[in-house]
Structure 1
Amino acid sequence: MKFLFAFIATIFICTFISTAQAQDSLIIHGIVYDENGNGLPFTTINLDNQHQSIVSDSLGNFNFRTSIGMHLLKFICVGYNEFSERYNFKKNEENHLEITLDPNISKMQDVEVIGRKEKSYRSSSSFVGTKTSTPIKLVPQSISYVTKETLDDQLAFKTSDAIKNISGVNQFSYNNNDFVLRGFRASNTLINGLRISTRGWSQNLLPYVERVEVIKGPASALFANTDPGGTINTVTKKPLDNARKSISFVTGSYNTYRMTTDFTGPMNQNKTLLYRLNLAYQNTQSFRVLQDAEAFVIAPSFSFVPNEKTRVNFDLVYQYNKGRLDRGQPIFGASGGTDLYSTPVSFAIGRKNDFQNELNLFSTISLQHQLSKNISFNASYLKSMYQEDLLEHRTNNKYAVDSLGNEIPTLMGMSTIRRQRKNYVDNLTAYFNFNFETGPFEHNILVGYDHIQEVFPLGNSTYNASGFLSADGKSTISSFNPKKPELYQYKNGIPVPNVPYFDLQNPDYSISEISRYINVSAMETPSKYFVNGVYLQEQLRWGNLRALIGFRQEFYTDVENYTKKAEKNIQQKAFIPRFGLVYTPIEPVSFYATYTQGYQPQTASIIGDTATYGGPFDPLRSKMIEGGAKMAFFNNKLSVTVAAYRIEQNNILVNGNIPDKPDGLRQIGQQVAKGFELETYGSINRNLNITANFSYNIAKVTKSDNEEEVGTIMPNAPKSQGNIWAKYNVSKGYFNGLGIGLGANYATKRNTNSAILVLPSYWIGNAALYYQIDKFKIQANFNNILNKTYWVGGFDFNRLFPGMPRNYMISIGYTF
């Protein structure tokens, strides 16, 4: 009994003490703002210089418990001046704090060395438009982007998940960087403004990405041979000078499992050495047959900032993809009609033992040094490597034929590929930047040099099977000629293929050993090209008027017969101008106009063999005229861009119909795209973020040796497309911490490479729910909520690329 009384007394005393302490403590609420009145997420608040601290939520809100009396609070946020203040917290008073932090100008990035300051759907400056850190509203060209905050809110994981938020960009296929920009198919991509290998199939992953941006129209004056519709640039995450760590887990439809981490901060006390480490792993199946896959990313980054004049950064990205090559959905052939629904969207061609292992590896080192008050030097070097190990049962893009040569629309012609290859890209850029004044004029002059080299080395090899079996079954014939039926072997009245046909009505995905076919082993032709370019750019300011004048002299060398004794350099050169004007009558509004040219060289195999192809031929030439307005609303929180343009591409090679020269070419083709775009990024208030875009584009063939082709819309180029995504966060009341996201995207009908096959228009709806409490964030994303059937792109009857049916993703994240 004594023990019982003692136990009760102890509980009573502890309860009394706890109650007394609670009466002497307070809960402090507050919010941290930036200079524009936006809530600053992930601001660190230290109390009384203790090691323990709290972090504001995604809207800048924070709360903590402390005792009555005087306390020192310290507020720390990347890119802002540290703020300290003593507060006397009293009982029975409203202890609510509102803190505004001032930006630290010395921390502003100049060459993508230091991490981005902004934490919203809006990005105020870009490096890709001028090779200097220039406010987007002052660049005389349309620049679109998707920030990491948008990517996080949409649980985006690969490039195609991002580009739907950019006007005028549409997928051509599932393949890496295979997009249509303003009607023109893209072939080049940049990482931090530098060229990387584009031979791979798997799309770039996004866990290490700060933002994806597109400079619209030709960008050859800055980045050498680029596409006329635009150039996609991926900006990687950079180290921050404030410790921050996050980890998230995602699961969802099609047995998706994903984990990502992002660690960053200083490595020494004086914060001259910074690091960032992004890791990601995903294992998932697909709505497509046999398209289960694994992906792994390791992306460390280090910054050395010894003083305010010098900055050095090193990035390494290791991306490994393991799966199968998805060449799209086949449907019944043309003689069977144009029914897109003749096979389900899950339908694919392949075998269980197919595989594709891809390694993308690139490293970048960059230096920025301020030589004097008016002169700075910048240099960056990127080394990129791509490695592929592939086994594939694929369509040969033809249907089976009977003994008379008639198409059998339900049997797909097949071939196999066993391939191992690598290629390497080197990209060096170096330039000086001069800033000075002459009377009323302000000058920003950039003088630079670029070197780009891509090598497809000796030793890459393939082991292929295709064609039809000869009559004796000991050799193959590449195609079937019904006028010489005695050359072929037959079964059930049909010529026998080397690789069995794929039956679209009764598909067989079982293991198939390729050694039983007649294979041909061959080395892939090695190749090499290199580019040397010098450029001059002046950004001139006179009051509210700014002019951009740029010139580039390009020397492109393609090595013919690379690695052979007959090796020869085939050089092409081009002079590329760029002009632009920006007028800012009032601070939130700027009007701009630009004229720029672009070029892409013809390959050495064509221009070096005049006996076969004719020529010599000039490079592909493009030019663009664009004008528009860039505006800011709601205290500079919301950006709106309106652009109208005309792009023309010339010197397209077409067959010359030359007697006695069947492969002879002539340079007559032309394509023209005209349109306008509207884009919106940012926030209407501190609770509502939005990104939206709309484009109208007519991209036509205007010159061709085939008169029937003139006037046709280019493949996978919708006349109109758009997207909207909005997120609203509740910051007060019972639902504090709750958020909701709603969005939709659409595209009108699109042509394919087949004149009789058109992809229908579509629109899909998306939604998301968010809940953040303290350092935890839980979200659920629902895509294609109405379960629409649609196609994002396609080649023809045997290669279409359907969009994903209704699916969901659930994520839980922790920031510490």
Structure 2
Amino acid sequence: MRKSTVLLGLLGAALLSAQTTDSIKENTIDAVILNTIVKKDTESSHKMPLKFIENPQVYSSVDKTVLENQNLFTVDEALRNVTGLQKMWNATHRSGDGGSYVNLRGFIASNSMRNGMVSPVSSTIDAINIEKVEVLKGPSATLYGSNGASYGGLINRITKKPLDHFQGSVSLAGGSNDFARVQSDVNVPLNRSRSLLLRLNTAYTTESSFQNAAAKSHYYAFAPSLLWNVSDKLNVLLDYEGFESRTQAEQNLFFIFSPSLYGYKDMYDIEKLGLNYNESYISEGLYNTGRSRNLIGQINYRISEKVKSTTLVSSSYSYSDGYNPYFYITTESYTPDQTPLGLYRGDQSTRDSKQKIFQIQQNFNLDFPIGSMRNRVLVGADYMRSNSDQLFVYGIIDFVPLSGADYSGFNKETLANFYESGAYGSYPMQSIKDTYSAYVSDVLSVTEQLKVMAALRFESNDFKGGVIGTPVASYNQSALSPKLGLVYEVIPEKFSVFGNYQNSFKSNGYYISDASETLVLSDPETANQFEAGLKTNLLQGRLNATVSYYDIDVRNSLQTVGYTSSNLAIQDQMATLESKGVELELNAYLVKGFSVIAGLSYNDSRYKDTADETILNRRPNTASSPWLANFSANYQFLDGRLKGLGMGIGGNYASANRIFNTTTAQFELPSYLVLNANAFYDQERYRIGLSVNNFTNEKHWIGYTTANPQKLRNGALSFTYKF
């Protein structure tokens, strides 16, 4: 089915005649660069039309043009262009929690939103259907609720929409680590009036692990969208994305205790001890099968010139079944007993695991004057049901030294025999939660220069109970989430100062409060952010920049303070966390053909109140690197003999990430500077792209209290035929 669908898409692209121009022919390349890389006006981030300069919230966006220039194929890769974002965890492809995780402003976030609806993907997300990726900074529950946004922000994928003319492209790509890819993007009107439009994006990718050439993963993406323009006032959009994968897990290194107890400071020291950066420590055959299906139906109806209705219905489904190997760096006794450190090799498989999410959302946008003041209003309601039916089975297989051993024994046959023996543990997750929400947001233009935003959301979470390892009782919790924003355009449409207050919350359910295993319903955890800064939109829109300072205060967090006799965590709801920092983002197109994306951020996160004195006033071990920087400079010849030739260089810097940080134990993932280069030659009918990532061959680890080695030098060459 997969292969036939890809071939069908490619065959259809080849048979359709090249009768319509490419989008770049409709605009000058100069305008394309300016509009897609520099300008940041958007309607999607606040569910209402707001210019970048008048928006009181900080956000970043990465357009598909950036991905094309950098020769990138996944959303994970695209996010390296976002200021203040650091990848923490690669996708494991497990249902429910298998997607990649990043850090924003000191908090873990996932890529769970698509076109404003909760649409998680448990695999590496193919970018074939991406128009742009928007990242909103700070707690954003007022508009998006507690289920899709972290306290640091949220990631919203904006997908390609059908166009009113025929166009398409077919691409082939190949590169390092047996990377091979075929993709197509075909847009075609289905009737003479061009009121019914279809766009089909497909891609198939294979790639080997840089640590194990025999472990080849396969990814398939199928993303059609259908638009029916019923009238000038009414249109209906169906937008689907399906991802399938067959993957062998990337190396995830966990820790029983901090290696600093042995005098080791960071992962470089563990390498000196014997850990081989290029060794997978497992054999082949340990694959996981994953699937994600997201369908959104959208009805847009313009009731009048001042009132617009948007109705959205979304269905999301993920599935996984298979192996998920992982490792502990520890001693054979699991304790720091001064014996040599080695690896416990284990597995946490999923068996026929599923997660389903159904969501209905209704929004009304109003734009009307109050006297001489423009007033933009959003009124909305949302219902979401989340249904989890997952089963994890797990166990430790063996203990091996860090070097000098035969590691081929950890394979499919070994794990099959282990699970057949019945010696494994199991952890079921079966639950249903209904979430009901209503919200309103108002932006009032008091004067041409002064804009005031006020918003409020009411959300009720009705947890039906179920099993999360052990039986969990039902509960119902509600919360209000307010938001205030103020923008003053010192120079209209060119320079503004802004401030905002944003709120978010989370229901943590029940926790065990004492050694007798007494269950207590926790109060909602809350996050409040105060932020101030400035924005510029200078030189006829060729330079936009944001400088901001934020302070996020999180209260009512659960914290482990001990364990029961049955090894269950005893928790206390008292932890208070403060996360504050500074961000600078720059997008510029100062010289014809030359564009720059750059950013610098610093984050200071600390526990301010906690039962654990060893972490008081210390940075959480999940808060990522304090200092982050990103840049990308690209030049494209727009005239002369070299017209269409482009080249660029970019990179990401991260300071050391302390994944153990107590008064008695500190251990780091080292700082890194990863540099990338790209080149392309873009013509009317074809495009050639080249990328070399990590061209200095920098060893670097990411980690969410873990250590996950990342790819060394790798490259890809692509060829695209456009019609």
Query: What's the TM-score once normalised by structure 1's chain length?
Result: 0.77
Q: Which has the larger radius of gyration?
A: 1
1:313 paired to 2:244: no
Match for 2:439: what amino acid? Y
User: Could you tell me which residue of structure 1 aligns to residue 134 of structure 2?
Assistant: 213
Q: CA deviation at 1:286?
A: 2.4
1:660-809, aligned counterparts within 5 Å? 663-715=569-621, 716-753=623-660, 755-796=665-706, 800-809=707-716
**Structure 2: how far apart are the matches of 1:808 and 1:515?**
36
Question: C-alpha distance in 1, partners of 2:399/2:336?
Answer: 17
Which of 463, 488, 492 is residue 583 of structure 1 equivalent to?
Answer: 488
Distance 1:692 1:663, change over 3 A: closer
Matched, 1:500 2:398: yes
Q: Which amino acid aligns with 1:375?
A: V
Change (3 A) 1:637 1:264: farther
Q: 1:472 is matched with which residue?
A: none
The answer (yes or no) to whether the contact 1:414–1:502 under 8 Å persists in 2 is no
1:453 matched residue in structure 2:
385
Q: Which residue of 2 aligns with 1:434?
A: 366
Q: Is the 8 A contact 1:336 1:409 kept in 2?
A: no
Match in the other structure for 1:83: none
Compared CA separation, residues 373 and 609, structure 1 to 2 (3 A): farther
Partner residue of 1:148? Answer: 64
Aligned residue among 224, 233, 238 for 2:145:
224
1:642 equivalenced with 2:547 (yes/no)? yes
Residue pair 1:535, 1:553 contacting (<8 A) in 2 also: yes
Separation in 2, partners of 1:120, 1:391: 41
* Further displaced range: 620-629 or 134-143: 134-143
Of 114, 121, 145, the match for 2:37: 121
- Alpha-carbon distance, 1:204 to partner: 1.6
- Where does residue 536 of structure 1 map in the other structure? 440
CA distance in 1, matches of 2:379, 2:68: 37
Q: Residue type matched to 2:677 in 1?
A: A
3-state secondary structure, aligned to 1:735? coil
- Report how far residue 611 of structure 1 moved: 7.2
Q: Greater shift after overlay, 222-231 or 678-687?
A: 678-687
* Residue 221 of structure 1: how far off its partner (Å): 0.5
Structure 1 residue 683, shift from structure 2 partner: 2.1
Map 1:194-273; keep pairs closer than 5 Å: 194-197=117-120, 200=122, 202-225=123-146, 226-273=149-196
- The worse-fitting range, judged by mean Cα deviation, of 786-795 and 249-258 is 786-795
Change (3 A) 1:764 1:680: same
Is residue 362 from structure 1 mapped to residue 294 from structure 2 by the alignment? yes
| Residue 728 of structure 1: how far off its partner (Å) | 0.8
787-796 or 672-681: bigger deviation:
787-796
Offset at residue 615 of structure 1 (A): 3.3
CA contact (8 A) 1:402 1:408 kept: no
How many equivalent residue pairs?
A: 675
Partner AA of 2:249 in structure 1 = L
Query: Match of 2:53, SS?
Result: helix
Give per-residue Cα distances to partners, 1:49-102, cap 9 Å, x unaligned.
xx98684795x6xxxxxxxxxxxxxxx56xxxxxxxxxxxxxxxxxxxx9999x
Q: Which residue of 1 aligns with 2:109?
A: 186
Task: Check 1:272–1:117 CA distance in 2 against 1; reply closer, same or farther (3 A cut).
Answer: farther
1:274 counterpart residue number? 197
Give me the whole-angstrom Cα distance separating, in 2, the residues matched to 1:261 and 1:524.
Answer: 40
CA contact (8 A) 1:129 1:141 kept: no
String of CA shifts for 1:129-160, please: whole Å, max 9, x gaps: 32123223222100111111111111222232
Check if 1:159 corresponds to 2:75. yes
Corresponding residue SS for 1:164: helix
> 1:326 & 1:563 partners in 2: Cα distance?
26
Distance in 1 separating the partners of 2:648 and 2:105: 28
Residue 430 (structure 2) aligns with: 526
Retained in 1: the 8 A contact 2:45–2:134? no
Residue 719 of structure 2 aligns with which residue? 812
User: Share of identical aligned residues, percent?
Assistant: 23
Does the C-alpha gap of structure 1 residues 415 and 736 become closer, same or farther in structure 2, counting only changes over 3 Å? closer
Q: Look up the SS of the partner of 2:230 in the other structure.
A: strand
Q: What is the rounded CA distance, in whole Å, between the counterparts of 2:368 and 2:336 in structure 1?
A: 77
Distance 2:44 2:536 in 1: 20
Q: Unaligned 5+ residue runs, structure 2?
A: 1-16, 92-98
Distance 1:234 1:118, change over 3 A: farther
Q: State the 1:405 CA deviation.
A: 6.6
- CA deviation digits over 1:242-265, x for unaligned, max 9? 221111111111111111211114
Q: 1:633 aligns with which of 527, 538, 548?
A: 538
Which stretches in structure 1 are left out of the alignment for 5+ residues?
1-50, 61-75, 78-97, 102-115, 467-498
CA RMSD of aligned residues (A): 3.1
Kindly state the Cα deviation for residue 815 of structure 1 after the two structures are TM-superposed.
1.3
The residue identity in structure 1 corresponding to 2:144 is F
Which shifted more, 511-520 or 419-428? Answer: 511-520
Shifted more, 309-318 versus 183-192: the winner is 183-192
CA distance in 1, matches of 2:526, 2:174: 47
Moved more, 525-534 or 663-672: 663-672
Distance apart, 1:569 and its partner CA? 3.6
Contact 1:411 1:504 in 2 (8 A): yes
Equivalent of 2:523, from 593, 615, 618?
618
Is 1:296 the equivalent of 2:246?
Answer: no
Alignment of 1:272-421 (within 5 A): 272-289=195-212, 291-329=215-253, 334=259, 337-338=263-264, 339-341=269-271, 342-395=274-327, 398-401=330-333, 407-415=339-347, 417=349, 419-421=351-353
SS of 1:205's equivalent? Answer: coil
Q: For residues 427 and 659 of structure 1, do their structure 2 counterparts lie closer, same or farther at Cα, with a shift above 3 Å needed?
A: closer
Matched with 1:550 is 455
User: What is the TM-score when the length of structure 2 is the normalising length?
Assistant: 0.87
Deviations 1:468-515 (A, max 9, x none): xxxxxxxxxxxxxxxxxxxxxxxxxxxxxxx33234321412433334
Contact 2:34 2:542 (C-alpha < 8 Å) held by counterparts: no
Provide Cα deviations, 1:197-226, integer angstroms capped at 9, x if missing partner.
Answer: 46x3x2222111111111100011111113
Q: Which moved more, 1:430-439 or 1:273-282?
A: 430-439
Q: Which residue identity is paired with 2:172?
A: F
Give the deviation of 1:587 after TM superposition: 2.0
Q: 1:380 to 1:415 in 2, by over 3 A?
A: closer
1:599 aligned counterpart, secondary structure:
strand
